[in-house]
Structure 1
Amino acid sequence: MAKLTALAILATYNEQRFVRACIENLARQGFETYLLDNESTDGTVEIARQYLGRGLIAIESLPRDGFYRWERILQRKVEIAQTSGHDWFMHVDADEIRLPPPPFRTIHEALGEVDSQGYNAVNFAELCFVPTREEPDHDHPQFQDTMRRYYAIRPFPHNRLNLWKRQASSPDLASSGGHQIGFPELKVYPTDFLMRHYLFLSTAHAKEKWIDRHYDPEELERGWHRSRARLQASAIRLQSSNELRLYRSDQELDASEPLQAHPVFSLR
């Protein structure tokens, strides 16, 4: 039997903080990566170019026109998937470290089991790593070593159902805002994979990431980006370390008792 191939489709806009760690982890997990950059103005693309031929297979520039148009990015991701020759695809963001469930060593290894059992989609349990009141600033290249407090979140079942097997017709990723892939005869693997999500590295980074962003007015009308678009810098409140779980290893990540909303968007 031919070896399964897997493609991660990564969209970026000013993600120089995260893009290196993300691409390196995807390579470790057995993925090739296609980068879809939304006209970054920082060093994102320059950093990414270092990985061409070393896990990264292409860099495509998607015009921005002054607004963050998430639906268009998601639609382009599906187009890339449908025109590639890979077997499995993953919608991923730069601030995510995707991981397999125990006892698998890589996502690619785990996908062999998923595929052999006839499943065609995988959900990820989301573990959000955040700064705390005691340690508020992790805006540096070693953020994975220093920002070790996290919480689990699951606003709805299959909140991160965005690893899927090639389909004959184009699946739907945009309707859910990228959270759930949709296609006929969806068969979800019963065990969640894992994801370390580095939500923001400091309050200044949160402001840059969400408050300074110009959202597509039509997407706002549809209810997308609501909590992020309404966020004000003065309302950002960091949690105390003792309210969060302590990261010790990937094998000990705890996805139990997930929250239904991100505290940074609800604490006032």
Structure 2
Amino acid sequence: MLNLHLDPAYTSRDTATYFDDTEFAGGTIVYQPEVYEVADYFARQARRSTVIDLGCGNGEKLRDVAAQRHIGVDFGGNLVACREAYGAWGEWIEADFSSPDCLCLTALAGPDTVIICSDVIEHLVDPAHLLALLAACYVRGAIIITSTPDRARTWGPDHMGPPPNPAHVREWTLPEYAACLTEAGLPVAYAGYTLDNTADMQLATIITVHDGFALAVPAELGVRPLAVIAAYNEADILDQVVRDWIEQGCDVHVIDNWSDDGSWNLLEGIRAEFADRVTIERFPEEPAANYEWRNLLRRKEMIASAHPGRWIIHSDADELRRPPFPWLTMAQGLALAQHAGANRIPFTLLNFRPTASGPDLLAGLTADGLFFDYGIQPEHSVQTKAWLQGEQKVDLVSVGGHIAHFDGAIDFHYKFLLRHYPIRSADHGRRKVMKERKGRWSPDERAMGWHVQYDGFHAGSAYLWDEATLFQQTEDFWPDHGIAIITDVAERGTRRAMLLAGAAQLANKDGHDETNEPFASVPTPGDADASFPPFSPTDLARTLAELKGQMGAMADEVRDLRQRVAHLEAISATAMADES
């Protein structure tokens, strides 16, 4: 008997009601929007050719997942609608997940497969056969993605069933659900929360990822990874950063660009303490009037080229890095990536921001309570800054250090985390921007369009962010944000829409109107380092309403385009069949 790991006081339903998803076809509200974005990410990044959607409903969301082969599995009116709407575009298979016959679908899965099972399990009186199917597919090498509503986040911690939704038999909490899946033969690589729908925009749906590569135990690296760090006047943070790299199992090579704030003396002390782990140098040979980023990148390329067969991380003195799984160190995460056949690492960027009443960033760089935003600007969205050094020298210069270019690069299909602390306080921001950066930029590099991240700042800027425009790190940081960190979900914009929605709700609750003071004014035109302009609360509400209107219009257009494409594909498939 399968242990569902539900609270003993919980009451499930005895019968299931068929869920007709055709009623939601073409609607402006998208349910579990990030689940299919995650599936699309893994299909692309893990180079999986087949996507199977168990419980595909009306099939609309499967259409958004890029793959060579799409298989939708359902029954009843949902499957009829898929066949009528999309025909030969996909393969539509009838199956009842409450029957052991569904196990025959196992033969479709393999190491080229991503399987989606989104909000299906809660509809089954006995989910044992569905879980057995998923476990069998996992054993065959498929990446499994599941989702289901979180009972506590949806209805409150005291809700003990049955679910208010009559089509749901039972609902789990995150710990219950993860335990249930693990016992059923689905070890969890990631378990957290995702957005429930594009109207509520709440992290109230559980999402899990099951991938044998993620849980492999690779051999230790033959040599410790090397973090190559550029620094200029970072004495307030440098000690924490270097020590963190050592704790993460990496060696450190710091290139100091002739700091004058005591950074060099601090580095000498760290080197004396960790003589076998830390190398320091001043570059260039003599102090220079300008900050020449290209020359620093070339120096990093040269350092890396002296270490073939070693993982290199191109970093800065105001950054921490983390692997995609919290139980690993950076060194272990890189070993895992290498075991999976990857030789380059993509990163998701989070910028941590000072606020008027928030905690001191320097009191604990990873502490709960800090505020952050996602680095989702185009110039930040691609960050491949770690690589397994080969015989060929990598190219960092051509794209300003954001991407390590080399022949034969294979990116790991999980993104690592880059925690960035560019401005640590108002005083630090004013000193850094006005004195230590703007006066030192290379004129040639400025002419190339580089170093524009602080153009919107001036001496009178607040150098503080409003908390309403930021996310806050809490004890649920990884469950809440992990799926957006290890994939490209954050870059697709839904998380920003979530933040806007939250700020607008806060504005409405507090009764703000046009007469209120705007948020902390940090001028942002052309500023790549500040994610949001200084909206007033009313502006946020208006922007959110406009976004929802645009989403509705786009949904109508997408629905029409899908119908036209499906119609043409069906005609094409028929014509090809006639020719053969």
Native 8 Å contact 2:322 2:418 kept in 1: yes
Opposite residue 204 of structure 1, the aligned amino acid is D
After superposition, residues 1-268 of structure 1 pair within 5 angstroms as 3-52=222-271, 54=274, 56-63=277-284, 64-84=287-307, 87-135=310-358, 138=360, 141-144=362-365, 145=367, 148-156=370-378, 159-212=382-435, 213=437, 214-229=440-455, 231-236=457-462, 238-249=464-475, 251-252=478-479, 254=481, 255=484, 256-258=489-491, 261-263=528-530, 266-267=533-534
Native 8 Å contact 1:13 1:37 kept in 2: yes
Going from structure 1 to structure 2, the CA distance change for 1:86 and 1:167 (only over 3 Å counts) comes to closer
Residue 44 of structure 1: how far off its partner (Å): 0.9
Residue 251 of structure 1: how far off its partner (Å): 3.4
TM-score (norm 1): 0.88
Question: Cα deviations across residues 222-256 of structure 1 (Å, max 9, x unaligned)?
Answer: 00002324531324463322321111256346245
Question: Cα deviations across residues 138-157 of structure 1 (Å, max 9, x unaligned)?
Answer: 37x41534860111112237
Work out the CA distance in 1 between the residues paired with 2:265 and 2:404: 31
How big is the alpha-carbon RMSD for the aligned residues of Structure 1 and Structure 2?
A: 2.6
Going from structure 1 to structure 2, the CA distance change for 1:200 and 1:13 (only over 3 Å counts) comes to same
TM-score (norm 2): 0.43
Residue 191 of structure 1: how far off its partner (Å): 0.6
Work out the CA distance in 1 between the residues paired with 2:369 and 2:458: 23
Native 8 Å contact 1:228 1:265 kept in 2: no
Going from structure 1 to structure 2, the CA distance change for 1:98 and 1:253 (only over 3 Å counts) comes to farther
Q: Greater Rg, structure 1 or structure 2?
A: 2
Native 8 Å contact 1:215 1:229 kept in 2: no
Native 8 Å contact 1:100 1:194 kept in 2: yes
Work out the CA distance in 1 between the residues paired with 2:473 and 2:532: 22
- In structure 1, the residue matched to 2:36 is none
Work out the CA distance in 2 between the residues paired with 1:196 and 1:24: 15
Going from structure 1 to structure 2, the CA distance change for 1:28 and 1:86 (only over 3 Å counts) comes to farther
Give the unaligned 5+ runs of structure 2: 1-218, 497-526, 536-580
Work out the CA distance in 1 between the residues paired with 2:230 and 2:422: 16
Give the unaligned 5+ runs of structure 1: none
Residue 113 of structure 1: how far off its partner (Å): 1.3
Residue 51 of structure 1: how far off its partner (Å): 2.2
Work out the CA distance in 2 between the residues paired with 1:65 and 1:173: 22
Opposite residue 73 of structure 1, the aligned amino acid is L
Opposite residue 360 of structure 2, the aligned amino acid is H
Greater Cα shift, 207-216 or 163-172: 207-216
| Larger relative helix fraction | 2
Work out the CA distance in 2 between the residues paired with 1:216 and 1:263: 22
- Matched residue pairs, number? 266
Greater Cα shift, 230-239 or 56-65: 230-239
Percent of aligned pairs sharing the same letter = 26
Work out the CA distance in 2 between the residues paired with 1:106 and 1:240: 32
